[in-house]
Amino acid sequence: MKGKAGLFRPTTLAEALELLATLPDAKLIAGGASLVAMMNARIVEPAALVDLARIGELTGIVQSPTGEIAIGVMTRHCEIANAAAFTGTLSVIADAAKQIANATVRNMGTIGGAIAHADPGLDFPPAIIAAQATVEIASSTGSGRIPAREFFVDWYTTRLDPREIIVAVHLPKPKPGAGIYLKHARVAGDFAIVSIALSSARDGETHVAVGGCGPTPLSSLEVDTILSSSHGEAAVAQAGELLVALSDPIDDVRGSADYRRKLIPRMLHRALFEASARGDA
Ligand SMILES: Cc1cc2nc3c(=O)[nH]c(=O)nc-3n(C[C@H](O)[C@H](O)[C@H](O)COP(=O)(O)OP(=O)(O)OC[C@H]3O[C@@H](n4cnc5c(N)ncnc54)[C@H](O)[C@@H]3O)c2cc1C
């Protein structure tokens, strides 16, 4: 198959991996929401496309008997937004999905495409970090899982090798508590200027990730430890300061770097307030 160009439509994961291994310049296509726009703008010009849409094993949300949840990588944003499985601390996942763009994009885009694309303004990357997800990856030589916190490495760059396919996003059993995704954007549905993903369990365990404020989502074990022991004013202020220190925002048409830095502690405060106002955390 080496050197072949065109559109390939495998029906199994094994077939898709085989295609990637033998077509050196091929690119995966999922919903096409971002990739087709990049191809139209000639930012990427893949020699071949491997379409994942016909691989049934990559779609769907499955909860195991012990409560963990696996989201197949081809699951569309609209399905995640409406799924009943995301309760308690995992509400952050559905909350993020509901705020992506508009109904058209939510019907097209997949969670796999969103996290592989790794644009810092996207909604799923911080949400899956706050939810303590792991990302399952397959290649022709095997499969493995990477904690979401370690998956994003730079602007539009993840730990994925071009011959690998994301297969699923795995989430721990939801805990009683609250999962909140706050997105500050110019208008509803636009990319985030700053976003805060929060998972706050009733037993105190708290995880936070920030979107839009650097090449990758911001998260810190120190921040999570501070907020897991207290949501008091001093703890929240300290956590906010640490997140600002970690941030590396840019000035762009959506907002200045300084504006973004100012928003982080305020939005963290508001997310924690909303979590407690829901009465769950
Ligand atoms: C007008 C518009 C507005 C948008 N607004 C928002 C928004 O507000 N918030 C938000 O979060 N997103 C937004 N998006 C992006 C949207 O969420 C896309 O769905 C997402 O970025 C890409 O998903 P996709 O399934 O369409 O992937 P594609 O466009 O098909 O692919 C994107 C990239 O991921 C790679 N890829 C796809 N699947 C896999 C896989 N399983 N394994 C490895 N690599 C893979 C592809 O090769 C490609 O490089 C917007 C997009 C558009 C067009």
Cα angle 106, 108, 110; round to 5? 80
CA-proximal residue: ligand 1, atom 36 (nearest): 113
Helix axes 221-229, 233-246, angle to 10 degrees: 170
Place of tokens 């705020």: 99
Instruction: Decide if pLDDT at 26 tops 70.
Output: yes
Within 13 Å and on the Cβ side, how many CA atoms surround 42? 0
Instruction: Report pLDDT for 24.
Output: 83
CA-proximal residue: ligand 1, atom 18 (nearest): 109
Q: How confident is the model at residue 3 (pLDDT cuts 50, 70, 90)?
A: very low
Long-range contacts of 244-249 (CB under 8 A, 24+ apart): 246/214, 246/218, 246/220, 247/210, 247/213, 247/214, 247/218, 248/213, 248/214, 248/215, 249/212, 249/213, 249/214
Place of tokens 């109904």: 103
Closest ligand 1 atom, residue 34 Cα: 29
Ligand 1 midpoint to CA 222 (Å): 31
User: What residue spans of the chain are helical by DSSP H?
Assistant: 13-22, 35-40, 77-82, 91-98, 103-108, 111-117, 124-130, 148-151, 221-229, 233-246, 257-277
Q: pLDDT tens-digit profile of 182-211?
A: 999 999 989 999 999 999 999 999 999 999
Instruction: Decide if pLDDT at 279 tops 60.
Output: no
| Distance separating alpha carbons of residues 96 and 166, to the nearest angstrom | 20
| Distance separating alpha carbons of residues 10 and 12, to the nearest angstrom | 6
User: Comparing 181 with 24, which gets the higher pLDDT?
Assistant: 181
Q: pLDDT tens-digit profile of 152-170?
A: 999 999 999 999 999 999 9
- Which DSSP string do the residues of 225-255 spell out, in sequence order? HHHHH--SHHHHHHHHHHHHHH-----BTTB
Ligand 1 midpoint to CA 66 (Å): 31
* pTM of the entire predicted model: 0.96
Instruction: Report pLDDT for 4.
Output: 59
Closest ligand 1 atom, residue 119 Cα: 21
Token couple for 132: 């303590």
Is the distance from the beta carbon of residue 169 to the nearest atom of ligand 1 less than 6 Å? no
Is the distance from the beta carbon of residue 61 to the nearest atom of ligand 1 less than 6 Å? no
Of 19, 35, 76, 159, which is best to mutate to test ligand 1, by the most ligand atoms within 8 angstroms of its C-beta? 35
Buried b (16+ CB within 10 A) or exposed e, 128-152: bbbbbbbbbbbeeeeeeebebbebb
Instruction: Report pLDDT for 280.
Output: 52
Token couple for 204: 């105190």
Specify which residues 109 forms β-bridges with. none
| Distance separating alpha carbons of residues 99 and 121, to the nearest angstrom | 12
- Domains assigned to the chain: 6-51 (3.30.43.10), 59-171 (3.30.465.10), 177-277 (3.30.390.50)
| Distance separating alpha carbons of residues 205 and 231, to the nearest angstrom | 11
CA-proximal residue: ligand 1, atom 41 (nearest): 166
Closest CA to 54 of 18, 9, 16, 13: 9
Closest ligand 1 atom, residue 189 Cα: 8
Is the distance from the beta carbon of residue 105 to the nearest atom of ligand 1 less than 6 Å? yes
Token couple for 131: 């939810």
Ligand 1 midpoint to CA 73 (Å): 11
Closest ligand 1 atom, residue 76 Cα: 25
Ligand 1 midpoint to CA 18 (Å): 23
Instruction: Report pLDDT for 278.
Output: 80
Is the distance from the beta carbon of residue 37 to the nearest atom of ligand 1 less than 6 Å? yes
Residue 117 CB coordination number (10 Å): 18
Ligand 1 midpoint to CA 110 (Å): 6
Ligand 1 midpoint to CA 237 (Å): 34
Instruction: Report pLDDT for 129.
Output: 98
Closest ligand 1 atom, residue 37 Cα: 53
Is the distance from the beta carbon of residue 30 to the nearest atom of ligand 1 less than 6 Å? yes
